Amino acid sequence: MYSEKIERLLELALADGAITNKEKQVLLKEAEAEGIDLNEFEVVLEGRLHELTKLKKSTKSDKFGEVRKCPSCGAPVESFSATCSNCDYDFRNIDANSSIQLLSNKLEEVITECTNTIRSATDREKEILVRQREIIKNFPIPNTKEDILELLYFIQPKTQSGLSTDKNYSAWKGKFTEVLNRAKVLFEKDPKMMQQITTIESQHNTKGLLHLISKIKEINSTVLGIIIVAIILIIGYFATSYIGNKGIEKESQRLELILKDVKVLIQEKKYDEAEVLNNQLYWEYSGLGSSTKNKENWDAKREYNKKIIRDLKWEEMMEE
């Protein structure tokens, strides 16, 4: 529609889904220099920004839940697929914790509704348990790494009979097994993800064993029982700490290598390649010891690099 230079400037300006005043002024100046009607140009600019916003919303919808279309190559994607079979695009980092939030909201809605409609405390408690049990049982399992891991960690404490304060622990236990089995099938070709799933399963089994031992201790009430429990707790503590530290160390090393390559590409002025590689700077480890600070730290580094690359692209375009 416009000259190659203006189209390139429009592409760079709209890359992040927003247009700053500085970008708009540059575009208007270039359009005026080429004799383009500025009022018409502003209308086209707003239209393209609107279309980009709609596309982003559509892409976000495609990435979560039952993915119908790959956001990378556009190929059809089967339900419950974690990667695109056509281009190996990894469906990740899409509203992590959204499944947990949705499940929590549904459970809270039951409590609110029953509280407002049922006067008898006994009847109200029974109805809440029955309806929440159905919600847990029928809740759909997501297919993104983040959501599945967060869902497993969310459910796990509720699955231990005698340790859990949730009276629907049987329903939670069934859902935990269902999510775990789905994850094993979904990520059987992803060694890193399978390692995390195995760790979660081991933690779950260990807690069940500790509960059984604690019951034996209560029955026998012997010093030997107490010593056995103490030893197992100590071993479990050091084992889980070791696994967590190793996981964090491995993830940090992976991201540091990517960051190093990004910096090299920037120095070589290969901005497009640097931008693609920079988009991989996501903290994926969600196992023991990981925290939101790890994710926030690498998110900040990724955004910082993105801004540098974008500014350098602009400078390069202006020099032309």
pLDDT at residue 156, as a whole number: 83
- Higher pLDDT among residues 155 and 15, named by residue: 155
Residue 96's pLDDT band (boundaries 50, 70, 90)?
A: very low
Q: At residue 303, does pLDDT exceed 70?
A: yes
Could you report the per-residue pLDDT of 75-90, keeping only the tens digit for each? 665 544 555 666 555 5
Could you report the per-residue pLDDT of 116-166, keeping only the tens digit for each? 888 888 899 999 999 999 999 999 888 788 888 888 888 888 886 554 467
Structure tokens at 194: 């399978």
Q: Please give the Cα distance from 207 to 283 (Å, whole number).
A: 27
Could you report the per-residue pLDDT of 29-70, keeping only the tens digit for each? 888 888 888 888 888 888 887 777 766 655 444 444 444 566
Q: Which residues of 160-198 are buried (b: 16+ CB within 10 A; e: fewer)?
A: beeebebebbebbbbbbeebbeebeebbeebeebebbbe
CB neighbours (10 Å) of residue 289?
16
Indicate the pTM of the whole model: 0.39
What is the pLDDT averaged over residues 303-309? 89
Residue with the two structure tokens 């693609």:
276
